[in-house]
Amino acid sequence: MSKYEFSLKQEVLMEKGAAVLGDLFRYRSANNIDDSKNPVAIMYALVWNAKRDVLSAQTEEELIAIDGKFDLAGRFLTQLEGASV
């Protein structure tokens, strides 16, 4: 993977992480979740940290792992939203 492709993948992951964080933030706000031990708040913190790690990643494998965390958080939220309907 060239430096350009790697940087592009980082940029895409930054956007994906921002989208997931935004969705989690809206869910927390809509459901008045303030407890830092709530699973939604914990997932938010994990995604925040993963998003921060995008820029310090050095390998494609690290980016793949971060992408997996974003996917997991997205599925987590989808399941929560489905259960609350």
Is 11 a residue whose pLDDT tops 60? yes
pTM: 0.89
Is 33:6 a contact under the CB 8 Å cutoff? no
Structural tokens at position 42: 């914990």
Provide the percentage of residues in the chain whose pLDDT is more than 70: 98
Query: What pLDDT is recorded for position 83?
Result: 76
d(CA 18, CA 51): 8
Cα 55 from Cα 59, distance rounded (Å) = 11
- Beta carbons of 17 and 47 less than 8 angstroms apart: yes
The per-residue pLDDT for range 16-49, each reduced to its tens digit, is: 999 999 999 999 999 999 999 999 999 999 999 9
User: DSSP secondary-structure letter at 78?
Assistant: H
Q: What is the pLDDT of residue 1?
A: 84
